[in-house]
Amino acid sequence: MNIISQKNELRKLYKQKRSEILSKNRDTISDKISSNLFSLNEYQKSDIVFTFIGTHSELATDKIISRSFSEGKKVAVPVVTDKAHEMIFIEINSDTPLIKSKMGILEPAPDISKQLTPTPLSVIIVPALAAGRDFYRIGYGGGYYDKFLSENIYLSSIVLCTDIQLIG
What are the angstrom distances between the C-alpha of 137 and each of 109, 122, 147?
28, 20, 13
Where do the DSSP E strands lie in the chain? 48-50, 74-80, 87-92, 99-100, 106-107, 123-126, 130-132, 137-138, 156-159, 166-167
The helix (run of H) or strand (run of E) holding residue 36 is helix 3-38
> What are the residues facing 77 on neighbouring strands?
90
Sign of CA dihedral 31, 104, 149, 5: positive
User: pLDDT at position 1, please?
Assistant: 66
Q: How far apart, in whole angstroms, are the C-alpha atoms of residue 97 and residue 82?
A: 21
For residue 11, pLDDT over 70 is answered with yes
pLDDT, tens digit, 9 for 90 and up, residues 64-123: 999 999 999 999 999 988 777 789 999 999 999 998 888 788 899 888 889 999 999 999
Amino acid at 23: S
Rounded to whole angstroms, how far apart are CA atoms 94 and 133? 34
Higher pLDDT, 101 or 52: 52
Number of other CB atoms surrounding residue 66 within 10 Å: 12
Confidence tier at 25 by pLDDT (50, 70, 90): confident
